[in-house]
Structure 1
Amino acid sequence: MKKTIAGVDIPDGVVAQAASDLMRSVESELMFHHAQRTFLFGALAGHRDNLTFDAELLYVGALFHNAGLNLKYRNSLHRFEVDGANAAREFLQQYAVADSDIKEVWTAIALHTTPGIPQYMSPLVAMISAGVQMDVRGEHYDEFTAQQRDEIVQAYPRESGFKKKLIEAYARGMEHRPATTYGTVNADVLDRWDPNYRRLNFCGLVLGSDWSN
């Protein structure tokens, strides 16, 4: 029987189930539940805004959006979002998924920490961002009903201390590659986490460039 939470059907096709099994095996329960809530809040935002979307692609994008924080990438020098996007692409290429759909999932994951852009792109890109932002920082919190919020959190709980634990998970996934945080909200994470972190400054980069004037 299909599982429905807050009026949203959880995709249960071959691709969705494989993605769920894979990410459950490599992510902590905290991060896996966060990914599930991201899908649900993203889907609700899409329904609210009358967007047309592929629920299975949204589900895969939500499950993989933080894949780049996993231990596998602790030596990577890419942005963690790019590692996650690449992982999703490699996963989807195993199935009969159109290249255009794979590119859209890649873009949604790659841009989910870049504020001010996703909401003007495709529904999938906008919805991944909306789901993440709602679960992480409560963006548009009151646009979801109390019943929707309660059903989602009951199904996929926010464990005690979730806010601080999430920041720690982000920090530990990026502390070895601090330069990749430039231009995103990730710089805020390391600024709070690492007392030795010094964020790159755009003005400093311009003024310190090799150009003579």
Structure 2
Amino acid sequence: MTTPNRRPASPSGPAIGGIPVPDSTLAREATELIRDVTDDLLYHHSRRVYLFGAHHGHHQGLDFDPELLYVGALFHDLGLTGKFRTSQQRFELDGADEARAFLTARGIPEDRARLAWEAIALHTTPEIPHHMAPEIALVSAGVELDVLGIGYDTLPTATREAVVAAHPRPDFKRRILHAFHAGLAHRPATTFGNVKADVLDRFEEGYTRPNFVRIIEDSPWPE
């Protein structure tokens, strides 16, 4: 018996570091799409996000849909790619919208597709995702481990080495910051209220960080 509103377990391909990787038609199509539109940096990063997130989920005994987690991980940085260089919404929303469209076009119910949307839309918002559905929490956990190193010491060395061997991260810190900058420089206002404001503060000449207190004080209200 399956959990209500949860898809049956999807087929898995060869595991990486003991972590099963979905090998359904949907997962293969997602891989092909992301491989075609991202460079090695974002592709390998996104696969690591899935692997680290799934490992965390298995370790915590969470009941999650591997396909939704996989799509959420693969699409989470899609908004940083060239396709969205004229977009004026948050890059997280670009990727979230694309993931939801991808899933619903393949017959995934809207309530399930929305989990992937929320996972991507919230992956730069600290803490809140970890109190939501497992698929949402685990995308954030994977991102936090791969980008920020949160949980690095709790990941078995053999697992970490196997994941990085399959999906290398040469000069990753410098290159991912460059990718963030390139994807955000044309829409600086969208970084207000999330961690990406730090990127433009560091790398964008002339950038002035919006200040929440000043916005309140300068609002048109007389008092």
Question: 2:134 aligns to what?
Answer: 123
Supply the distance in 2 between the matched residues of 1:192 and 1:50 (Cα, whole angstroms): 39
Partner of 1:172: 182
What is the identity percentage for the equivalent residue pairs of Structure 1 and Structure 2? 47
Once residues 191 and 14 of structure 2 are traced to their aligned partners in structure 1, the CA distance between those partners, rounded to angstroms, is 37
Deviation for aligned residue 1:28: 0.5
Counterpart Cα distance in 2 of 1:153 and 1:205: 43
Matched with 2:105 is 94
CA deviation after TM superposition for structure 1 residue 199, in Å? 1.1
Check if 1:197 corresponds to 2:202. Answer: no
SS at match of 1:139: coil
What corresponds to 2:219 in structure 1? 209
Give 1:156 shift.
Answer: 0.4
**1:10 Cα offset (Å):** 1.0
TM-score when scaled to structure 2? 0.93
What does residue 66 of structure 1 align with?
77
- What RMSD, in angstroms, separates the aligned Cα atoms of the two structures? 0.9
Q: Pairwise mapping of residues 149-168 of structure 1 onto structure 2 (< 5 A)?
A: 149-159=160-170, 161-168=171-178
**Which residue of 2 is the match for residue 186 of structure 1?**
196
Q: Cα deviation per residue 1:75-101 (whole Å; 9 max; x = unaligned)?
A: 000000000000101111111211111
Greater than 2 Å deviation, 4+ residue runs: none
Distance 2:123 2:130 in 1: 10
Q: AA paired with 2:100? A: R
Q: Secondary structure at the match of 1:6?
A: coil
Deviations 1:164-206 (A, max 9, x none): 1000001100000000000111001111111211111110110
In the alignment, residue 45 of structure 1 is paired with which amino acid?
H
Kindly report which structure 2 residues correspond to 1:134-153, keeping only aligned pairs within 5 A, or say none: 134-153=145-164
Kindly state the Cα deviation for residue 3 of structure 1 after the two structures are TM-superposed: 1.3
Structure 1 residue aligned with 2:53 = 42
Q: Deviations over 1:6-26 (max 9, x none)?
A: 111111101100000000000
Q: Distance in 1 between matches of 2:199 and 2:53?
A: 23
Hey, what's the Cα distance between the residues in 1 that align with 2:102 and 2:39? 19
Q: CA deviation at 1:141?
A: 0.8
Q: Distance in 2 between matches of 1:181 and 1:84?
A: 15
- Structure 1, unmatched stretches of 5+, are none
TM-score norm. by structure 1 comes to 0.98
